[in-house]
């Protein structure tokens, strides 16, 4: 079991963000220990880690909430569809970024070949 400060460090989220995700219902409310502190278990940490990955790929919180709700209902078909659509968006973004990277690399090469440019 983990205190919220430990969870924050493990998953790379601020304490207010963890509390906000709890308020939104993205994670279950953790149980309180005998001292009245919330204790987060490994399952909550795994959920938060996955949410961080989804957020890192620009999935909106409302879509993450839709996914979490479907998962809690054992609606795996919806989970699959949500993640499949998100995968398509990520792949499109990667293609765009690769094209931009190629243009930047071309410009770097171009300027390194000009007198006074580059190395």
Tell me how many domains the chain contains.
1
Confidence category of residue 119, pLDDT binned at 50, 70, 90:
low
Q: What is the pLDDT of residues 21-35, one digit of tens each?
A: 999 999 988 988 888
| Domain enclosing residue 76, as ranges | 4-116
Could you tell me the two tokens for 104? Answer: 């930047």
DSSP string of 23-59? Answer: HHTSSPPPEE-TTS-EEB-HHHHHHHHHHHHHHHTT-
CATH number at residue 29: 1.10.1660.10
3-state secondary structure 80-104: HHHHHHHHHHHHHHHHHHHHHHHHH
How close are the terminal C-alpha atoms of the chain, in Å?
53
Global pTM value: 0.76
Burial class of 48 by CB neighbour count within 10 A (0 to 12, 13 to 18, 19+): buried
Mean pLDDT of 3-18: 94
């Amino acid at each position: 079991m983990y205190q919220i400060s430990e969870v924050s460090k493990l998953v790379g989220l601020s304490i207010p963000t963890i509390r906000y995700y709890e308020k939104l219902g993205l994670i279950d409310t953790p149980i309180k220990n005998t001292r009245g502190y919330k204790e987060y278990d490994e399952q909550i940490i795994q959920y938060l880690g996955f949410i961080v990955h989804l957020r890192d790929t620009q999935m909106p919180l409302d879509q993450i909430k839709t996914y979490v709700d479907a998962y809690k209902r054992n609606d795996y078909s919806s989970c699959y569809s949500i993640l499949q659509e998100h995968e398509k968006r990520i792949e499109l973004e990667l293609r765009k970024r690769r094209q931009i990277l190629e243009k930047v690399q071309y410009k770097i090469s171009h300027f390194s070949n000009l007198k006074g440019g580059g190395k």
